Amino acid sequence: MNPQLMQIFLFLSLIIPYLYSLSYIGLGLLAMKRAPWLATLGMVCGFAAGIVWGAIADSMVMLNSMAQIGLNPLFVTVEKHYYANWTILTFGAFWVIGHLLGYILLGIALLRARVIPWWTAWLMIVSAPVMGPIAYGTKIGLLQILGYVLVFIASVPAALAMLKVRDKRAWESPSGEPVPTS
């Protein structure tokens, strides 16, 4: 891989556990009023998966470091044993299942809450099978990117809806009544 692209990938892997976890909370809070159970479950699944990504990112940094040192048969043995470890397999399963289930649950919650256009909620729901089972099953990595693009597109109206909610609350008193603007 291009060394500059690898550095960008490793940097993004460093910030993903934080951004992903916060994004699931934001999406869940948007749907919380009208779909509390789905929103809560989606937030928990997505938040947990985002945190787990940190352990997976660690292994990528290790593999990149080993590749920079040069070809050594011992590295292949270490990699095979590392990824065969039940802890790493569990982390990987939590990441994959958690973030896909989080998108599905939050997409359904947002659909039920009707706080974003229906088609954007469906983009979030459809993104999970595209970036998960379909991408892994066909071994076409581009489908994973397509899935994340679908989530990004769906997140734009969600972000705009969050801003509208925040602006609306700024003009209300703590009791929910409009503030006089004389």
* Alpha carbons within 13 A on the beta-carbon side of 175: 3
- Which pLDDT band, with edges at 50, 70 and 90, does 167 fall under? low
Read off the pLDDT of residues 101-152 as tens digits, 9 standing for 90 and up: 999 999 999 999 999 999 999 999 999 999 989 998 998 988 988 998 999 9
Read off the pLDDT of residues 41-80 as tens digits, 9 standing for 90 and up: 999 999 988 888 877 787 788 878 887 787 778 888 888 8
- State the pLDDT at residue 113: 93
| Residue 98 in this model has a pLDDT that exceeds 50 | yes
Tell me the whole-structure pTM to 2 decimals: 0.79
Query: 178 phi and psi, to 5 degrees?
Result: -60, 145
- State the pLDDT at residue 179: 44
Cα R_g (the chain), whole angstroms: 20
**pLDDT-above-90 percentage for the chain:** 40
Domain residue extents for the chain? 3-168
- State the pLDDT at residue 168: 61
Residue with tokens 């997409």: 107
Residues with Cβ within 8 Å of 150's Cβ and at least 6 positions away in sequence, in order, are 123, 124, 126, 127, 130, 131
- Which pLDDT band, with edges at 50, 70 and 90, does 35 fall under? very high
